[in-house]
Amino acid sequence: MTQVPLGEEREVKRLGGATLDGASIALVVALAAVVAVLSFIPFSVMLGSGGSIEMSEGIYGLIGWILGPIAGAVASGVGRFVGVLVAPHTAGVPFVSVWGAAIGSFAAGSMVLAGQRRLWWIPLTVLFVTAYLLYAGRAIVQNGVGLWPAIGATFLDWSGVLLFALPTRRLFVHWLKSPNLGKVAMGLFLGTWMISGLTHVNSGAITYFMYNWAEEVWIALIPVIPVENLFRCLIGMVIGTGVIVGLRAIGITKPDHAVY
């Protein structure tokens, strides 16, 4: 600084105002509204069951990286809940859709590099591995689905779990924090792939328990799911890059557990 301040330096802290786990309630509400609105905007080629995915599925990770795990889960969960109410055709099983949104953002927000929360990935990994075993394991062991069809159709799920459990999780965080927008975009793309995988494995474990689809369906899903997920990654990257650039530019105080 060219001018030396004469006054005493003071501790700056936000006083009053409602916050949720260090994130301003106003921000939580705003992002929940974004999730709700994006819930009824479709954005993908229609390869699967004749419907397309909604854009909100591409930003669950972004919400968690902006707000932190708890506020992110609340924003995504509430937003998806509203989205399910106003656009029920976009949710196969409504409560599963809400759960998937919340757990995805929670996982994203837990990707911190320091502090006590840096160990949250361990129990979460246990949860996700368990979900995968319930999902693919049920198919293989109980329903006789072939090993390779099951592995092929769950590529998104196991790749997501692996990316989360391995140091790639920390690499994505470094990219998200980078001033290089190219790295931010890459972190958003691959991070969204990972979070979508985690969301999918949690949702799939419940949904498969309810519907037990046949091996032929598993085989058909092998090419479909990854292609659909590429669209989620594109959504997360395009929207997320702009949002992160904007948040940095306006200098708004970051939520306490923001990852970006």
Using CB under 8 A as the criterion, which residues of the chain lie in contact with another protein when the complex forms? 1-3, 5-17, 245, 249, 251-253
CB of 179 to another protein, least distance (A): 10
Residue 240 amino acid letter: G
DSSP reduced 3-state for 26: helix
The answer to whether the CB of 259 falls within 8 A of the CB of 111 is yes
CB of 181 to another protein, least distance (A): 8
Cβ proximity to another protein: between 36 and 195 the closer is 36
Cβ proximity to another protein: between 69 and 255 the closer is 255
CB of 175 to another protein, least distance (A): 18
Tokens of 40: 């009824």
The answer to whether the CB of 259 falls within 8 A of the CB of 118 is no
The Cα 86–Cα 154 span in angstroms is 30
Cβ proximity to another protein: between 17 and 144 the closer is 17
Kindly report each contact of residues 241-248 with a partner whose C-beta sits within 8 Å and lies 24 or more positions away, as own/partner.
241/181, 241/184, 241/185, 241/188, 243/62, 243/66, 244/66, 244/176, 244/184, 244/188, 245/181, 245/184, 247/66
Cβ proximity to another protein: between 3 and 116 the closer is 3
CB of 24 to another protein, least distance (A): 9
Cβ proximity to another protein: between 39 and 241 the closer is 241
CB of 89 to another protein, least distance (A): 29
